[in-house]
Amino acid sequence: MRRTLIAGNWKMHGQMNSIRELMSGISEQLQSDWRCEVLVCPPAVYISTVKQLIGDKTVSLGAQNVSEQVQGAFTGEVSADMLTDIGCQYVLVGHSERRSLYGESDELVADKFAAALKAGLKPVLCIGETLEQRENGTTMNVVKQQIDAVINLLGIDGLAKGVIAYEPVWAIGTGVTASPEQAQEVHAAIREHLKQSCTSAAQNTQILYGGSMKAANAEQLLAQPDIDGGLIGGASLKADEFIAICKVAG
């Protein structure tokens, strides 16, 4: 049985005060009997603060990016070991903003995935097609290629140690969500693709949906058989909205 994971990607938002407020809103409303796992991914400089704010609550902690390098003269970069050292369990790799704005290739993303695993982090591999690619009918080619870069480097067993987040680029931050049917179709095809390498990896790998998920559409999306959670941007910055999504996940 795959556990539902509700992950908040705060992107480059927040400052000490607003982050304290957000975390206290989340902590106050968190229910200990929820089956879903709740994960927050703050900007790197606030991760340690958020760790303190989490205290003894069961909220997992992740970063939004990581270097593919282990250590050394890489000004401005943060290594996977550093993230483990400050208490992260997860890290996003290959978010579409990293791919499109910072030129991260499928191969670089695969290297980051490998670096994360080596340091004991669970990488969340973000994949998804642009509007143009969807309209061209190449959605599955694009997502398969993004997944295969990791399989080629680490094998299906390596990939299965992480989480996949399917985020259609046209749905990120736009308010336009993929319909539950559109999302399910791609999630099922991703699982089928994994199955070609390994049945148990296909059955056990969590595949999250991301792209304008909010309380109002979470129920229908999370009800789909191959959607195992959400990667939430905008709606994760409001405690009530984020908690409402966690409640739907149960």
Q: Which is nearer to ligand PGA, 2 or 238 (CB)?
A: 238
Q: Applying CB under 6 A, which of residues 23, 211, 243, 245 lies at the interface with ligand PGA? A: 211
Q: Applying CB under 6 A, which of residues 80, 183, 234, 242 lies at the interface with ligand PGA? A: 234
Residue 105 has which token pair?
A: 């290739």
1 Cβ contact partners less than 8 Å away, ≥ 6 residues apart? none
Q: Assess 120 for contact with ligand PGA (CB under 6 A).
A: no
Q: Applying CB under 6 A, which of residues 167, 226, 228, 241 lies at the interface with ligand PGA? A: 167
Q: Applying CB under 6 A, which of residues 63, 93, 202, 231 lies at the interface with ligand PGA? A: 231
Q: Assess 65 for contact with ligand PGA (CB under 6 A).
A: no
187 belongs to the catalytic site: no
Q: Assess 212 for contact with ligand PGA (CB under 6 A).
A: yes
Q: Amino acid identity of 28? A: E
> What is the torsional sign of CA 234, 115, 67, 112?
negative
Q: Measured at CB, which residue is nearest to ligand PGA? A: 233
Which one of 104, 167, 187, 241 is the catalytic residue? 167
Q: Which is nearer to ligand PGA, 202 or 243 (CB)?
A: 243
95 belongs to the catalytic site: yes
Q: Applying CB under 6 A, which of residues 19, 61, 222, 232 lies at the interface with ligand PGA? A: 232
Q: Applying CB under 6 A, which of residues 42, 62, 210, 229 lies at the interface with ligand PGA? A: 210
Q: Assess 172 for contact with ligand PGA (CB under 6 A).
A: yes
Which one of 95, 104, 187, 241 is the catalytic residue? 95
Q: Assess 233 for contact with ligand PGA (CB under 6 A).
A: yes
* Interface with ligand PGA (CB under 6 A): 9, 167, 172-173, 210-213, 231-235
Give the catalytic positions in this structure.
95, 167
